[in-house]
Amino acid sequence: MTGFARVERQYEFGRLSWEMRSVNHRYLDFGLRLPEEFRPLEADIRKCLGQYLSRGKIEATLRFSEAARAKGSGLELNLPLARELLDVRTELTGLANCEEQPDIDQLLRWPGIIEEKRPDPAPLQAAAMELLVEAAQDLQDGRGREGEQMANAIRERLEGVASLVGSIRSWLPEIRVALKQRMLDRVNDLPQPLDPGRLEQEVAILAQKIDVDEELDRLDAHVQEVYRVLDLSEPVGRRLDFLMQEFNRESNTLSSKSVDQRTTQAAVDLKVFIEQMREQVQNIE
């Protein structure tokens, strides 16, 4: 979910530039920095970004440098007010029976005599939104490239998980035989012989307690599901996060049922792979 994009373009009214940064976040969170004349676009900007991004903390900054010729054309004389002021002055000088030239400096200080006419904001705002789409697409593409690298890293860990599951399956028959032999050795050390039926019953109970076939089947199913999810074109971060929890659950059960050093070590290695995948998943949209 990390990424950076910057798009800049020169227009006749000035230069616009968008700068966008994305960092990891559980949800979608926007931080916008806009010049005052672009504040009315805030809702439209959030809506636009939501069409391209669904997760992460996004910081979007818009900068606007007005063209020099545009800056010099913002003042305009309020002609109706100026004429009215001159008419009032003429009437006053007539009543006072005196002749004076109008004081232009004083007239210019009259409130509203000079108006600052801003250019039509519609073309400016439309250009900003058009440039925003380009920046959002660049950010999305960058995050997509990073996501593909993360997906490859997860696939490598999945291969490790599948290999461990296969190894444990191959060890189980040998482990069960060794477990039964250990029990027989202990029975032989008893001062009194044990009923054969009771012995078989105890062996069956112990074998049931250490049975991990179901956990291994579920681990295989989770591996295949993660492969499938990684190939989807939609946001999959939350789904992968859930699957990592399921991986953890099965590995914990596998560890608790272990009666052999090999399976205990395999359960530890399995947790290492799962934790590495979980860290990568936190960065995936």
pLDDT computed for residue 239 by the predictor:
87
Q: Is residue 225 over pLDDT 80? A: yes
Torsion of CA 22, 23, 24, 26, to 10 degrees: -60
Same structural domain, 82 and 127: no
Q: What is the CATH number of the domain that holds 29?
A: 3.30.230.10
**The one-letter amino acid at 214:** E
Same domain, yes or no, for 174 and 244?
Answer: yes
Q: DSSP code of 57?
A: E
Residue 89 CA to residue 83 CA, distance in Å, equals 10
| Same-domain status, 161 and 106 | no
Domain hosting 37: range is 3-68+122-141
Contact 42, 96 (CB under 8 A): no
Answer yes or no: do 136 and 170 share one domain.
no
Please provide the average confidence, as pLDDT, over all residues in the chain: 82
Mean pLDDT of 193-198: 61
pLDDT in tens, 133-147: 999 999 888 888 888
Predicted model pTM: 0.60
> Residue 161 pLDDT > 70, yes or no?
yes
Look at residue 224 and tell me whether its pLDDT is greater than 90. Answer: yes
For residue 51, what are the β-bridge partners? Answer: none
155 and 277 assigned to the same domain: yes
Could you tell me which of 104, 282, 257 has the C-alpha nearest to residue 176?
257
* 157 and 263 belong to one structural domain: yes
Does residue 126 sit in the same domain as residue 216? no
Q: Which residues pair with 31 in a beta bridge?
A: 59
Say what the pLDDT of residue 172 is.
Answer: 83
Clarify whether residues 63 and 131 are in a common domain.
yes
Between CA 176 and CA 87 the distance in angstroms is 112
Residue among 157, 155, 150 at smallest CA distance from 274 = 157
The count of residues in the chain is 285
Please report which helix (H) or strand (E) contains residue 191, including its range: none
